[in-house]
Amino acid sequence: ATPTALLVGTGRGAQLGVLIKGPEILESTRRVDTIVLDKTGTVTTGKMTLVDVVNAEGVPRSELLRLAGGLEDYSEHPIAQAIASAARAEVGPLPTPEAFENIEGRGVQGVVERHTVVAGREALLNERSMPLDTHLAGAKEAAEAQGKTAVVVGWGGQARGVLVVADQIKSTSAEAVTQFRRLGLTPVLLTGDNTTVAHQVAREVGIEQVIAEVLPADKVDVVARLQREGRVVAMVGDGVNDAPALAQADLGLAMGAGTDVAIEAAEITLVRGDLRAAADAIRLARRTLRTIK
């Protein structure tokens, strides 16, 4: 190995916004055949906004926003922050919950103005015997068919509304997926989000294989399962949630705008928040290897 070739490789890497931890990493870039992509914050911008409010009959829109907003204000999830800030902008100061519980990867629950309020995935409300009526179920399905996330809100034994939150697919993600295929990698979309939403996003960027409704702690198991099936896995992620999966992958790539924990767990850091940088990184590393050999 000539150290010069490595230097050239990593110098070019810095230009491309790709930071490679060490030369031993180059070898795994040659073997990877599968690239697992986290959805939120990786394929999409992760910047959520509240785009629709659907209230159940007899429930004032302002009450739905006050109670859901007050509760979500205590969650750090991007979905929660989108709901809380939109609610505050519309109804003013939000009530402070008397109790709050985060249900990892599923939603939140708490006591707001003496109501036990639940907000999150439909299953969470079903478990608490607050099924959606046909109006709310229709709103939820329509939102998901468009790739948007429906947050269901209930209290007092009834589902009270659906808050539709949307994220934007990065304009560069589809091109990145094309480049992964050209590099011989099979793209896989991995997310905690609902299957319908996940498939819609996958379709828009050209991914066929989708693994959805995976709890944050289980992402690492998905990577391990693919490896047991004989795949050599690269994983691109951004969140704290993604760190164990990035470490488990044969090649972990952290999106630069992501958290320090993710960057620490990964072998490669992508300074740009652009998924094409992952393809650049793999291409560059492979080319550098050829120069060395």
Instruction: Extract the tokens encoding 119.
Output: 């907000």
> Which is the catalytic residue, given 38, 167, 250, 274?
38
Does position 119 interact with ligand ADP (CB under 6 A)? The reply is yes
Instruction: Extract the tokens encoding 38.
Output: 């986290």
For residues 72-91, which are near ligand ADP according to CB under 6 A? Answer: 72, 75, 77, 79-80
Instruction: Extract the tokens encoding 122.
Output: 């439909």
Q: Which does 269 bind (CB under 5 to 8 A by kind): ligand ADP, Mg ion, none?
A: none
Does position 41 interact with Mg ion (CB under 5 A)? The reply is yes
Does position 259 interact with ligand ADP (CB under 6 A)? The reply is no
| 238 catalytic residue (yes or no) | no
Those residues with Cβ within 8 angstroms of residue 26's Cβ, 6 or more apart along the chain or in another chain = 6, 9, 20, 285, 286, 288, 289, 292
Instruction: Extract the tokens encoding 91.
Output: 């109804």
Residue window 185-214: x/- pattern of binding to ligand ADP, with contact defined by CB under 6 A: ------xxx---------------------
Does position 69 interact with ligand ADP (CB under 6 A)? The reply is no
Does position 153 interact with ligand ADP (CB under 6 A)? The reply is no
Q: Which residues bind ligand ADP (CB under 6 A)?
A: 39-40, 72, 75, 77, 79-80, 105-108, 119-121, 149, 151, 191-193, 216
Active-site residue list: 38
Q: Which residues bind Mg ion (CB under 5 A)?
A: 38, 40-41, 239
